[in-house]
Amino acid sequence: MTEVTFGLFDWIDRRPGPIGPLYEERLQLLEAAEAAGFFCYHLAEHHATPLGMAPSPSVFLAAAAQRTRRIRLGPLVYLLPLYSPLRLIGEICMLDHLSGGRLELGVGRGVSPYEIGYHGLDPARTRPMFQEALDVIVAGMTSARLTHRGEHYRYDDVPMELAPLQRPYPPLWYATSNLDSVAWAAAQGMHLVGLGPAEAYRPFVEKYRAVWPEHRDDPRRLNPQVATPRIGINRQVVVADTDAEAEAIARAVHPRWAASFVKLWADHGDTTYVHRVNLDAALRHETILVGSPARVRDQVSRLIEATGVNYVICCFAWGDLSLVQSLRSLRLFAEQVMPAFQP
């Protein structure tokens, strides 16, 4: 059986009730994930949508760093066009020190044109902004002084008083659902995360594995500290004692998550992502893993075999799932699913 690492993904999507207790529940879930041996907690960044109640991932991750000691932590992803690169360098360095060198640094430009537009940016122009911001951030984390003169950002001999604890910087990650972006991420040496049906993701993994070694010796390649990249896939998970109980839970909690996922798109009359929230299709394609431990173990086995990934990121808290349900699901997964894929 292929050895695979398991991580945790979170939107912190909204449920009825106050937000403070929601944050506290997620921190408790994170503590449980650390005790269960999960590798990393990955937090999404979203704006102006119930899909994400952590529009500033750094703030929540700073809290998470104080509640944990071993599990690694990181945004998946920071939406770079929305930041001042100089300010974000400072946040990254602070988080790396606050966590004792446990930061995993996911970067991207954002999938939702509506979220980007609310910030006064043209979504069509974010690709060059992303690339330039990434260049600035890497330069700032690896230099004593920062000078940059580009189309979008200009810095003149800025003293870099903060440096990350990890050298040369925290490992970089890239998340994409675009096959064309996979070759870029692989050439850069970044860890990769994707989603979707297993058969559709297989070409992403094959492309990545073909391109990554071709650029191993590129002088400007990122992540020089990474010997073996993680190639991951994201899955929502519900585990219960029986298949019937797990499916009943999934059907009860899914509508709220689905409504949150498509809300901004629906508000703008855009049906692009409607197919992503069909539960019956998700169960059929196993893009949401639901069942008893034995059934979910088989689903994970098929997922690894079909895709070739070496990292599975699980979301145990979504929609109307209670903390009790999420903790139980995580515990069953950790005790009866994960050991089958680890030495």
Could you give the CA distance from residue 53 to residue 49 in angstroms, rounded to a whole number?
A: 8
pLDDT (mean) for 71-94: 99
Distances (CA, A) of 16 to 52, 213, 300: 14, 48, 31
Return the percentage of the chain with pLDDT > 70, whole number.
Answer: 99
Could you give the CA distance from residue 151 to residue 274 in angstroms, rounded to a whole number?
A: 36
Beta strands 191-194; 231-239: pairing state:
parallel
Is residue 229 over pLDDT 80? yes
pLDDT of residue 268: 96
pLDDT (mean) for 107-130: 97
Q: Is the dihedral angle over the CA atoms 113, 61, 25, 7 positive or is it negative?
A: positive
Contacts of 215 (CB under 8 A, 6+ apart): 186, 187, 188, 189, 221
Structural domains of the chain in order of their starting residue, each with its CATH number: 5-341 (3.20.20.30)
pLDDT (mean) for 7-24: 98
Question: 308: left (phi > 0), else alpha (psi -120 to 50), else beta?
Answer: left
pLDDT of residue 273: 87
Nearest C-alpha neighbor of 293 from the set 329, 252, 247, 249: 329
pLDDT of residue 3: 78
Contacts of 288 (CB under 8 A, 6+ apart): 235, 236, 237, 238, 250, 254, 279, 282
pLDDT of residue 330: 99
pLDDT per position as a tens digit, 18-38: 999 999 999 999 999 999 999
pLDDT of residue 274: 84
Q: Are 34 and 28 in contact (CB under 8 A)?
A: no
Is residue 125 over pLDDT 60? yes
Distances (CA, A) of 106 to 33, 174, 280: 20, 6, 31
pLDDT, the chain, mean: 97
Is residue 1 over pLDDT 70? no
Distances (CA, A) of 127 to 110, 133, 195, 293, 299: 10, 10, 21, 42, 36
Is residue 210 over pLDDT 90? yes
User: Exposed, middle or buried: residue 205 (CB in 10 Å: 0-12, 13-18, 19+)?
Assistant: buried
Is residue 2 over pLDDT 70? no
Confidence of residue 41 (pLDDT cuts 50, 70, 90): very high
pLDDT per position as a tens digit, 145-160: 999 999 999 999 999 9
- pTM attached to this predicted model: 0.97
